[in-house]
Amino acid sequence: MTAIPSPLTGFTDSRTAQPKPQRRLNGFPITRGIGIPFLASAAVAAGTAIVSAIGIVQGSELYGTDPPLILVSAGGDLANLIITLPALIGVMWFAGRGSLAGLLMWPGALFYTLYVYAVYLVGAPTGMMLFAYATLVVLSATSLVVSLASIDTERVRSQLARTPIRFVGGALVIIAVAAYAGLIATAVSEFGSSGAESGFRPQWVIDCALGTPPLLIGGFLAWLRRPLGYATVGGLLFVSGLGGLAFAAAAMLQGLLYYGPIEWSVVGVHLIISAISFGLMVWFFAGRPRVADSGNLPSVRPFSLHRRSASGSNPPNE
């Protein structure tokens, strides 16, 4: 029985070596073991669970009975607990089992946690939780960088060469342009409003400066068929779908928790965006070959930068 490398750690394990997994793992597009990004992401998941639980328990004491931002509310915390957290854990689990889709959606889940807690950081009332939000932003950003750095973008492009990359990339650009159009319209409508600072500006700033630019840039790179575009477009579609779903859930849950009004038109728009994004993502990944490229892939231990040789053997002294 031949030993095969694990995508999670980079170590070989003869007990789990089977012919079918070997074909998948040999073509897994990583440049090193993903142990470090996995541990960092686990810290993000734990922090999300703790912060969300505190927000749900404290509720109106923390945010007030009528919070100005949908995402920064007890409903937002509940949405993070039942949607964002399982999404992050799910893609981590699939990536650890050698799923290409899971690997590429993983940075998307991390980017959404970075985005949503950036909104908390600038929009939540000042208090001790500010330190928790700042920590989650830093952890999410760090995990995002190390997870992206572990992806072999050239090999991803070779494995996804038959996917509708230009159409999906163009659609992502359209979504980003539509988002910017909505942001501009919202800003114009809020000019001169006394509640603009607390109820509009924090969310608008994060959407404009953090949430939307990666969709535009990633979609354009995908349309150009660049390796980074192939590696990020699936995760960006996941971000768009997850963000729309989580926002709609937060709006509905906040209304149900505190018997407040629910803006069903806003909920509907976000659910439509979510459905379109998830549909494009599924179509994109469905276009790839069922069996990954069986070429040899260098793999390393999670806490080492030494590459394996092309034959898969360990370098000296490792």
- Give residue-wise pLDDT tens across range 35-71: 899 999 999 999 999 999 999 998 888 887 778 889 9
Burial status of residue 283 (CB atoms within 10 A of its CB: 0-12, 13-18, 19 or more): middle
Q: Which residues pair with 30 in a beta bridge?
A: 151
Inside any domain, residue 201: yes
Inside any domain, residue 256: yes
pTM: 0.82
What total number of domains does the chain contain?
1
For 94-135, write each residue's pLDDT tens digit: 998 889 999 999 999 999 999 999 999 998 888 899 999 999
Cα torsion through 98, 100, 103, 106, rounded to 10: -130
Inside any domain, residue 21: no
pLDDT of 217 strictly over 50: yes
Inside any domain, residue 277: yes
Inside any domain, residue 226: yes
Indicate the pLDDT class of residue 261, thresholds 50, 70 and 90: confident
Inside any domain, residue 304: no
315 or 87, which is more confident = 87
Indicate the pLDDT class of residue 199, thresholds 50, 70 and 90: low
Inside any domain, residue 8: no
Terminal Cα distance for the chain, rounded: 22
Which structural domain, as residue segments, surrounds residue 87? Answer: 29-286
Phi, psi of 34, rounded to the nearest 5 degrees: -100, 25
pLDDT of 285 strictly over 70: yes
Inside any domain, residue 132: yes
